[in-house]
Structure 1
């Protein structure tokens, strides 16, 4: 989570504060400041502090712990304080528990990290005053399908996944899009993840003639596939989703590996903003 995103959230929240000026604005910041997600929560808090200092707003930060109980407790705290708007929330459990309470208090919410599609898809039904700055969960799947069906329309390609919900959904979205585009994969399969090598899989891909492979799975598995494909001189280029954006492991990604994901904001943001 980039502090820039939280800065944008706080600036955007001014628009929901009615006639109040920035100096009268009280912004609730919900973030996990304890537990395994605390490192991200502290980035959210740091961004909010920076934005508040810049715009003269007041912030009230509450630890939502990335849990349902934490989210509900944070919402009650914000309601009692009568904040104008709440920004933050990185976990679905926390925001879903908080929203009924914040709705009752008439406090709008801007989430910077929750991607669950139903959060905004159900807005008309639930009446939850929630707005999203980050991408939806299905944005990644549709981006993969849109980009690769165009990029690989003249290639022999394969679609594989690791059997997880994430892997199956992203692979199936690509397969369905390929079918609609009158493209037929040369090979479709589910692979066993977390193996020391994927020689057998690479052999099957090579036999099928695939030169491009989308793998719905973790970055470590795709790195191993790329290494093994190079060793077998298979001539295969691998592609994956945002799961490839992980710290380098024992095996590095093969040259040419394609990641379909949002840009790193530190690399594209205007430093003057």
Structure 2
């Protein structure tokens, strides 16, 4: 798929993996729409990335009206939508039973599933409808690409990660059937499952915490770089034969129980 001049939407695009992805996409010549809740940070990111080719939309990924209105803004500003990267998510930690034997609150589990899994599906389905109405492009007759963000926790959830692991396993499970659903329309679907990534939040932690997180990373023996996540996004867009796949980006990490 042609990168230069294409248009991408990045949910959670103002921070962490989403921010790194937005930077890489702008450097590749794409117009980028940032879907995020943080309006103040959104204005800052637009100024950093270039107001002529960057748009911020305050979006709750769980809400159909919020997403639909933002998509109309993107279409009015940039036209066709060629790429969606779902990075919006939360990562709470809560054991199923606390030290007193009380069960974890149900609303915390539901919120995590709603944002990480339902939110990703909600944005994907609405963007797919927009992509389906567009003219195909290139030798592969592509109409678009959807990239969701899972986690190695979707395979090896740790103690306290029941909600997070379940949400990410759900995203992994969405990948192939969603790709099969959209294949006749020329829309691809892939997922990236990152390991421990050096987002600003993790890099602000003490060295001993970072060392513990990287103890089971095989090579390179470090936190993953958000820019490496972004490079994989760009490659997925460029490689038309990559479809229906979940790729672990983790330095051969396999998560221990805790």
Q: TM-score range with shorter-chain normalisation?
A: 0.3 to 0.5
Q: Could you say which structure has the greater relative contact order, defined with CA pairs below 8 angstroms and 6 or more residues apart?
A: 2
Q: Between Structure 1 and Structure 2, whose CA radius of gyration is higher?
A: 1
Per the normalisation by structure 1, the TM-score is 0.37
